Amino acid sequence: MHELPVTESILEIALRHGAEAGAVRISAIHLVIGQLSSIIDDSVQFYWDMISEGTLAEGAELRFRRIPAVFLCSDCEKAYKPEGEDFSCPRCGGTRVKLTSGNEFQVEAIEVETDDAS
């Protein structure tokens, strides 16, 4: 359970880029989380509400985009989402497989409000 340091990192990234953009408020944070990144959304949200208080990002909406794990079989070149505990290829039974997505752990974008001075 390391949701607190993860949430602190998300806040740090959002505030740094928000300040650079001259934001008066950060309204949303878009997160991309692969299936193999063990993070609990509700827990991040819980910490977020606490630690974002009083910052530019207070009340910002956290949007989680989950990416399923996809493997590619090196033997028969089938791309598949593993089912159950066995990650081997469902077509040929091969075990020489590569993960092509599911490892993501990113702040994809933030939405900020700026005063339009022009």
Partner 1 sequence: MGREAVVTKRIPLKEKILSANDRLALENRKLFDEAGVLAMNLMASPGAGKTSLIEHTIRALSENNRLAVIDGDIATSIDADRAEAAGAVAVQINTGGDCHLDANMLRGALAELSLAEIDLLLVENVGNLICPASFQLGTHKTVLIASVPEGSDKPYKYPVMYRGVDALVVNKIDLLPYVDFDMPYFQRGVEILNPGLACFVLSCKTGEGLDAWLDWVRNEIEARRQGSR
Least distance (Å) between residue 17 CB and partner 1? 6
A 10 A CB-CB count for 76 gives: 12
Q: In the complex with partner 1, which residue's Cβ is closer, 3 or 53?
A: 3
Least distance (Å) between residue 37 CB and partner 1? 7
Least distance (Å) between residue 32 CB and partner 1? 8
CA dist., res. 46 & res. 33, Å (int): 17
User: 């022009």: which residue's tokens?
Assistant: 118
Q: In the complex with partner 1, which residue's Cβ is closer, 54 or 115?
A: 115
- Transcribe 38-69 into DSSP letters: ---HHHHHHHHHHHTTTSTTTTPEEEEEEE--
List residues binding partner 1 (CB under 8 A). Answer: 1-2, 5-6, 9-10, 12-13, 17, 21, 24, 27, 31, 36-38, 85-88, 95-97, 99, 105-117
CA dist., res. 55 & res. 51, Å (int): 8
Least distance (Å) between residue 3 CB and partner 1? 10
